């Protein structure tokens, strides 16, 4: 880059605005390997502490898109892209992508890896033996045309700057920042030429945004970036005050997603996927939301969505047998420790971040940049806020490599659950949706 990159960091450190062209040059130079991790980490920390202006956020997002190629489509059907800002047991994409494909939409999605205490779609999908997510632009386009859906990674070809910064943020405690998350999420969305971007902004103990108000700010920042690029976005703030599904890991999440696709599992994760699929259909197909729900339910019941999942797995080199025998095909941890309710009561609150962190400690996430993840380990959390349990009732499982790690994770899970003697109303699934404030 022209000039000394330390001046960009110094400006941000001192609370001054960084001119758009300098910020863009800094991000692009980092992506080319010309700025060190140390300097980039200092910059990110300054952004977390000082915040970023709307112009800086836009410059960062634009630079990340410009760091690689973009994907465009010329298909006979509308293309939808969806993204979550990060949560615990958040397997929405694993079900949404094949479901929306079964409903006649094209789904092209660049996903992320686990970040902080949250799980990542790529890590989950790669738990399927053989499955690859390093698809180039042509391959994504071709797969969406043939199969209906593709879920791929940032790569040296597409938004490489986000790939590099994302991993660095994970390793340097610089994730929870509205502008950094908005730029990262939207760079991946703007690099893919979809007709509709569906954004799932999470709020609650398992999200980076702990309150609905903070999540609203993130939703607004993402919407502004979409608007600037002339793109259509549908943004909702959804509940992450407890794990969305039951599985907090990688292979465990894939198993849960397949069970939903096979029509074997109900619950909040399934309900939210159906809600998002119906919204996408309503927006792109000009039908009523209720009709979208009916069609999404039918595509799950008929097995059409499951068949799209099988085709996507096969197209990305994975073992399609996972659909028929997830337990046999997916990696399994040698030790499964049941977790029992400590007493009678009603689940009142959950520290979902602590549960996500327990899963990271087991090896399902990364402590250092570039660490491998263990696809087999994780937790099952079988209770939801408002559920009444009896003492000794099984409420979860720890899947671990060794007993001491399993005991620590079980203790962390129990410590993350708060109980009441009184009835507790479950939180809503969706806090805010487009068109309603």
- The residues assigned a catalytic role are 83, 162, 169, 184, 188
**Binds ligand URA (CB under 6 A): choice among 57, 85, 93, 250:** 85
| Residue reference for tokens 């979809």 | 194
Minimum CB separation from ligand URA for residue 63, in Å?
Answer: 15
**Closer of 231 and 308 to ligand URA (Cβ):** 231
Minimum CB separation from ligand URA for residue 143, in Å?
Answer: 21
Minimum CB separation from ligand URA for residue 180, in Å?
Answer: 6
**Closer of 86 and 206 to ligand URA (Cβ):** 86
The residues in 335-354 that bind ligand URA, with binding defined as CB under 6 A, are none
**Closer of 63 and 385 to ligand URA (Cβ):** 63
DSSP one-letter string for 281-349:
HHHHH---HHHHHHHHHHHHHTTHHHHHHHHHHHHTT--GGGGT-HHHHS---SEEEEEE-SSSEEEEE
Q: Rounded to an integer, what distance in angstroms lies between the CA atom of residue 376 and that of residue 250?
A: 7
Q: Are the C-beta atoms of 311 and 145 separated by less than 8 Å?
A: no
The residues in 265-294 that bind ligand URA, with binding defined as CB under 6 A, are none
**Closer of 112 and 363 to ligand URA (Cβ):** 112
Question: In sequence order, what are the residues at sequence separation of 6 or more whose Cβ sits closer than 8 angstroms to the Cβ of residue 63?
Answer: 23, 24, 25, 26, 27, 28, 161
Please, which residues bridge with residue 197 across strands? 81, 233
**Binds ligand URA (CB under 6 A): choice among 31, 185, 233, 322:** 185
Q: Are the C-beta atoms of 154 and 166 separated by less than 8 Å?
A: yes
Minimum CB separation from ligand URA for residue 284, in Å?
Answer: 23
Q: Rounded to an integer, what distance in angstroms lies between the CA atom of residue 79 and that of residue 162?
A: 22
| Residue 114 binds ligand URA (CB under 6 A) | no
| Residue 174 binds ligand URA (CB under 6 A) | no
Please, which residues bridge with residue 337 across strands? 398
| Residue 179 binds ligand URA (CB under 6 A) | no
Q: Rounded to an integer, what distance in angstroms lies between the CA atom of residue 77 and that of residue 187?
A: 23
How many residues bind ligand URA (CB under 6 A)? The answer is 9
Q: Which range, of 94-102, 184-192, 247-255, 283-291, touches ligand URA by CB under 6 A? A: 184-192
| Residue 243 binds ligand URA (CB under 6 A) | no
| Residue 112 binds ligand URA (CB under 6 A) | yes
Minimum CB separation from ligand URA for residue 87, in Å?
Answer: 9
| Residue 121 binds ligand URA (CB under 6 A) | no
**Cα dihedral 150, 154, 159, 163 in deg (nearest 10):** 160
Minimum CB separation from ligand URA for residue 192, in Å?
Answer: 13
| Residue 106 binds ligand URA (CB under 6 A) | no
| Residue 115 binds ligand URA (CB under 6 A) | yes
**Closer of 116 and 345 to ligand URA (Cβ):** 116
In Å, how far are 112, 228, 233 from 224, measured between CA atoms? 21, 6, 10
Residue 433's Cβ-side half-sphere holds a number of Cα atoms within 13 Å equal to 10
| Residue reference for tokens 């620590």 | 408
Minimum CB separation from ligand URA for residue 92, in Å?
Answer: 12
| Residue 219 binds ligand URA (CB under 6 A) | no
DSSP annotation of 104: T
Question: In sequence order, what are the residues at sequence separation of 6 or more whose Cβ sits closer than 8 angstroms to the Cβ of residue 433?
Answer: 236, 237, 279
Q: Rounded to an integer, what distance in angstroms lies between the CA atom of residue 363 and that of residue 309?
A: 26
Q: Rounded to an integer, what distance in angstroms lies between the CA atom of residue 108 and that of residue 282?
A: 18
| Residue 238 binds ligand URA (CB under 6 A) | no
| Residue 181 binds ligand URA (CB under 6 A) | yes
**Closer of 115 and 410 to ligand URA (Cβ):** 115
Residue 320's Cβ-side half-sphere holds a number of Cα atoms within 13 Å equal to 12
Give the interface with ligand URA as residue ranges (CB under 6 A).
85-86, 112, 115, 180-181, 184-185, 188
């Amino acid at each position: 880059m022209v000039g000394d990159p330390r001046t960009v960091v110094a400006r941000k450190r001192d609370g001054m605005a960084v001119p758009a062209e300098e910020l863009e040059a800094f991000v692009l130079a980092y992506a080319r390997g010309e700025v060190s991790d140390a300097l980039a980490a200092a910059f990110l920390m300054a952004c977390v502490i000082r915040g970023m202006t709307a112009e800086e956020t836009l410059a960062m997002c634009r630079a990340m898109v410009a760091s690689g190629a973009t994907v465009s489509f010329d298909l006979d059907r509308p293309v939808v892209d969806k993204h979550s800002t990060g949560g615990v047991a958040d397997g929405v994409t694993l079900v949404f992508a094949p479901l929306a494909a079964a409903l006649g939409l094209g789904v092209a999605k660049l996903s992320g890896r686990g970040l902080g205490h949250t799980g990542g779609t790529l890590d989950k999908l790669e738990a399927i033996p053989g499955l690859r997510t390093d698809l180039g632009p042509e391959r994504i386009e071709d797969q969406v045309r043939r199969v209906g859906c593709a879920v791929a990674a940032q790569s040296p070809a597409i938004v490489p700057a986000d790939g590099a910064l994302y991993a660095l943020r994970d390793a340097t405690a610089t994730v929870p920042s509205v502008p950094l998350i908005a730029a990262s999420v939207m760079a991946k969305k703007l690099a893919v030429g979809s007709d509709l971007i569906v954004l799932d902004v999470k709020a609650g103990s398992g999200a980076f945004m702990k309150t609905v108000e903070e999540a609203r700010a993130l939703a607004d920042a993402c919407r502004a970036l979409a608007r600037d690029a002339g793109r259509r976005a549908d943004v909702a703030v959804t509940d992450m005050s407890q794990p969305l599904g039951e599985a907090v890991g990688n292979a465990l999440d894939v198993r849960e997603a397949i069970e939903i696709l096979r029509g074997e599992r109900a619950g909040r994760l399934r309900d939210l996927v159906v809600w998002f699929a119906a919204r996408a259909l309503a927006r792109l197909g000009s039908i009523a939301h209720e009709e979208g729900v009916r069609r999404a339910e039918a595509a799950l019941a008929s097995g059409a969505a499951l068949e799209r999942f099988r085709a996507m797995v096969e197209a990305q080199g994975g073992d399609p047998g996972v659909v028929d025998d997830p337990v046999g095909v997916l990696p399994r941890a040698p030790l499964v420790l049941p977790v029992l309710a400590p007493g009678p009561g009603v689940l009142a609150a959950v520290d979902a971040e602590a549960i996500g962190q327990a899963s990271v400690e087991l090896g399902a996430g990364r402590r250092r940049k570039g660490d491998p993840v263990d696809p087999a380990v994780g937790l099952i959390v079988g209770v939801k806020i408002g559920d009444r349990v009896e003492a000794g009732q099984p409420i979860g499982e720890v899947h671990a490599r060794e007993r001491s790690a399993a005991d620590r994770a079980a203790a962390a899970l129990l410590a993350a659950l708060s109980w009441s003697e009184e009835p507790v109303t479950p939180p809503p699934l969706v806090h805010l949706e487009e068109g309603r404030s």
